[in-house]
Amino acid sequence: MRKRGTPPPKVFAVTGLPSSLRDDQDIRIRRYLVSMIIRTVCFVLAVVTIVVLHWTVVGWLLVVAAVVLPYIAVVMANATRSLRSTYLGPVAPSNPTPAQLEPPVIDKDLPE
């Protein structure tokens, strides 16, 4: 049995840890690339709508989108992960078994 006054063993929760730096960078790079692909599509569609279809209003809206998207892409790519932690602290086992409370005792005075 556990002696009175000794605290139970601490068990730390790791489910609230933030994602790794590599995972965070991968997500940011993917966001940037998607935004740049959308920008390229906007630029190509702007050229097609202005030159081929003569839709000037739609073409110029696509040009504006192609000009503004790099700024948005850089801001999104530089948005780092949250620095706030969801640290819960040590978690006590809800129903500890006797093996968790105390290591087995080996009596050396027993005859062989």
pLDDT at 106: 66
Contacts of residue 44, Cβ cutoff 8 Å, sequence gap at least 6: none
Q: List the domain boundaries for the chain.
A: 26-53
Q: Please, which pLDDT band fits residue 1 given cuts at 50, 70 and 90?
A: low
Instruction: Quote the crossing angle between the two packed helices 21-47 and 56-78, to the nearest 10°.
Output: 170
In tens, the pLDDT along 98-109 reads 555 555 566 666
In tens, the pLDDT along 33-57 reads 999 999 999 999 999 999 999 999 9
Report the percentage of the chain scoring pLDDT > 70: 60
pLDDT at 66: 93
Contacts of residue 31, Cβ cutoff 8 Å, sequence gap at least 6: 73, 76, 77
